[in-house]
Amino acid sequence: MKFKFRFAEQIVGVFVLISLILVCMALILIGINKRWLREDLYYLSSFPSATGLRTGMSITLRGFKIGELQSIELGEDNMIGVSFVVYEEYINRVVKNSVIELQANPLGLGAQIVFYPGIEKGNPLQEGSFIYSTAVPEGRRLIKDGLVDKDSSGDIIVKILNDADEMVLSLNSLLITLDETLLGYNPGPVGQILDGLGDVMPGISGVLGDVQNRTLPGVEAVLADLKKISMSMVLLARELETVEGLVPKILDPEGSIATFLNDDNQLFNQVYGILDELQKSMGQVRELMTYLNGLSPEISSLVEGTGATIDEAEKVLQGLKNNPLLRGGIEEESPQDSVAAPIRDGEF
């Protein structure tokens, strides 16, 4: 008989036995690891949001695991009620004014609940006691009052994240207030100012219309003048580009001004004489104009008489033209062109 058939019962027995031993060992190890036979104490707490919370997550004290989260449920007051256990060997850390804090990585790289014991040393809290979380005002007040042994040498990144979290909360509050103010829900002075601003806006619109219709054309003219002035300034600036400016030209011994000043008043006298002659001519022109003004009525009547004479002469000529006896008796004159071409007929 083959070996395996002869000792089939023994082989199968060993096969089964080893398997059972392995299963029992696994169960024992799991039981030890999961603390099936340990008397852990449970406590209660609450958070405003369940984000980042999950059952089984660790409760740590200075990075050391001292318990774990047991259950999460939504309470009647819309707060998230949680229960967690603290291992029995760490029960003496759970004293009055202890708080817990949820530290969740915003990148989704895990989360944990950190336990901060109270400063007062005394008897541990009874099982089922309520421990505030830092997510509620009471918990934050305990830390602010210095009643909590909060580790200040923790992870710098976690502290930065906590600061950033507070900053975001403040910013959110500010934005909400600003939003309410802009919507007119805020009764404060800024809200009143904004209300008044709303009333003023139509008047400002009318003023802007007037400015557009009336003032802007004048401004355009002013701008044109300014443009001319700026062009003059450009020319002046071009003259002043040299370091010496106009002074060398003025002081040039061969220049007009120097000559004008250093010719023993010859040029000055000539200019003065010309101006004197001009003044005299202007006086004569003035007298002529006065005389012409005095003759204007006579000239007017003379012109009128001349007009009447021309009319009579035209009638006489018309009669002579119509007289059959005298027809063809007058020699026609040939037109004589002017030797000098009129200025207006010239081509420019």
Q: Which amino acid is at 12?
A: V
Does the footprint of other proteins cover residue 24 (CB under 8 A)?
no
Q: Which is nearer to other proteins, 58 or 97 (CB)?
A: 58
Does the footprint of other proteins cover residue 247 (CB under 8 A)?
no
Residue range at the interface with other proteins (CB under 8 A); choices 3-11, 168-176, 198-206, 307-315: 3-11
Q: Which of 27, 164, 190, 288 binds other proteins (CB under 8 A)?
A: 27
Query: How many angstroms separate the CA atoms of 59 and 248, rounded?
Result: 93
Give the SS3 label for residue 334: coil
CA-nearest of 139, 42, 50, 135 to 91 is 42
CB atoms within 10 A of CB 139: 23
Query: How many angstroms separate the CA atoms of 96 and 132, rounded?
Result: 10
Q: Which of 1, 3, 9, 301 binds other proteins (CB under 8 A)?
A: 9
CB 190 to other proteins: min, Å:
46
Residue range at the interface with other proteins (CB under 8 A); choices 18-26, 89-97, 242-250, 313-321: 18-26
CB 143 to other proteins: min, Å:
30
Considering only residues 34 to 93 of the shown chain, the ones binding other proteins according to CB under 8 A are 34
CB atoms within 10 A of CB 117: 22
Q: How far is CA 338 from CA 35, 124, 234, 343, in A?
A: 137, 136, 51, 12
Q: Which of 1, 3, 6, 30 binds other proteins (CB under 8 A)?
A: 30
Q: Which of 11, 171, 174, 226 binds other proteins (CB under 8 A)?
A: 11
CB 108 to other proteins: min, Å:
9
Give the SS3 label for residue 1: coil
Q: Which is nearer to other proteins, 38 or 227 (CB)?
A: 38
Considering only residues 105 to 164 of the shown chain, the ones binding other proteins according to CB under 8 A are 107, 109
94 exposed, middle or buried (CB, 10 Å; 0-12, 13-18, 19+)? buried
CB atoms within 10 A of CB 45: 24
CA-nearest of 46, 32, 143, 28 to 87 is 32
Partners of 133 in the β-ladder: 100
Residue range at the interface with other proteins (CB under 8 A); choices 17-25, 84-92, 211-219, 297-305: 17-25
Joined tokens for residue 236: 């002046």
Q: Which of 1, 3, 16, 212 binds other proteins (CB under 8 A)?
A: 16
CB 59 to other proteins: min, Å:
15
Considering only residues 257 to 276 of the shown chain, the ones binding other proteins according to CB under 8 A are none
Q: Which is nearer to other proteins, 33 or 78 (CB)?
A: 33
Q: Which of 6, 15, 250, 255 binds other proteins (CB under 8 A)?
A: 15
Does the footprint of other proteins cover residue 19 (CB under 8 A)?
yes
Query: How many angstroms separate the CA atoms of 69 and 86, rounded?
Result: 9
Q: Which of 12, 216, 246, 251 binds other proteins (CB under 8 A)?
A: 12
The answer to whether residues 68 and 114 touch, using CB atoms and an 8 Å cutoff, is: no
Q: Which is nearer to other proteins, 7 or 272 (CB)?
A: 7
Query: How many angstroms separate the CA atoms of 131 and 121, rounded?
Result: 16
Query: How many angstroms separate the CA atoms of 52 and 58, rounded?
Result: 12
CA-nearest of 52, 110, 57 to 84 is 57
Q: Which of 1, 3, 29, 192 binds other proteins (CB under 8 A)?
A: 29
Joined tokens for residue 139: 């918990």
Considering only residues 180 to 219 of the shown chain, the ones binding other proteins according to CB under 8 A are none
The site for other proteins (CB under 8 A) is made up of 4-5, 8-9, 11-12, 15-16, 19, 22-23, 26-27, 29-31, 33-34, 107, 109
